[in-house]
Structure 1
Amino acid sequence: METHGFQVKGAIDAETRCKHYYSEADRVAIKFFCCNSYYPCYQCHREYGCGQTALWPREKFDEKAILCGNCGAELTIDNYFEAESACPLCRASFNPGCKLHKHLYFSS
């Protein structure tokens, strides 16, 4: 699905929700390091992705890899971690539970 001019594989609505995570606050897509493509979650990447897994290295946390499904802002990984579960531009809430899965996307 295309949202805010970006292709988000596995998304089921314009705010990047998917069949796995679809609460009001589930409006973030993550660009996977291994394939440079946006997915709403690790399960969508597993289902529709490149078949590989690669974590974002810490030294690349200044690159844009997070998409706000509400306003379409691309955030750096550092911006996302600093955002306190809301988009720093439009203030739309993000699911705070996503932080439980950060080890699936990002190196520590």
Structure 2
Amino acid sequence: MAHTMTVKGLDVDPETRCRHYHSAIDRIAIKFYCCGEYFPCFECHAAVGCGHPQVWPKDKFAETAVLCGSCGNTLSVEEYLQCSSTCPHCSALFNPGCSLHKHLYFA
């Protein structure tokens, strides 16, 4: 495992894949704004999270909130939204389909 962060969820593997999203490129975890805990996805947060989901407000996009499950680097919301689904630190590919759910994490 390339990181030391605790990532909560269902069946989370060392690269942050979970029961819901487990393809080779599903390798990020998001620190939820509401509880400050990392989860692989919104479904894991709904299952075992705080029960009060809140999205990251735009004025907090400079804060680190995304963990690369491949190298352990943390990205700010801004960095993640601008990274073209590739980790800027290790070049690991992220799932571009995650952009379909960004409204569940970021304002």
- Aligned partner of 2:49 in structure 1 is 49
Q: Which has the higher strand share?
A: 1
Q: Is the 8 A contact 1:8 1:38 kept in 2?
A: yes
- Aligned partner of 1:68 in structure 2 is 68
Q: How far did 1:40 drift?
A: 0.1
Q: Is the 8 A contact 1:3 1:16 kept in 2?
A: no
Q: Distance in 2 between matches of 1:80 and 1:20?
A: 21
Write out the 4+ residue segments of structure 1 that deviate beyond 2 Å after TM superposition. Answer: none
Q: How far did 1:90 drift?
A: 0.1
- Aligned partner of 1:12 in structure 2 is 12
Q: Is the 8 A contact 1:9 1:38 kept in 2?
A: yes
Residues 1:97 and 2:97 aligned together: yes
**Pairs within 5 Å for 1:69-84:** 69-84=69-84
Q: Deviations over 1:43-89 (max 9, x none)?
A: 00000100101110000000000000000000000000110001000
Alignment-mate amino acid for residue 65 of structure 2: A
- Aligned partner of 1:39 in structure 2 is 39
Give aligned-pair identity as a percent: 55
Q: Distance in 1 between matches of 2:62 and 2:52?
A: 23
Alignment-mate amino acid for residue 38 of structure 2: Y
Number of residue-to-residue matches in the alignment: 106
TM-score between both structures, scaled by the size of structure 2: 0.96
Q: How far did 1:3 drift?
A: 6.1
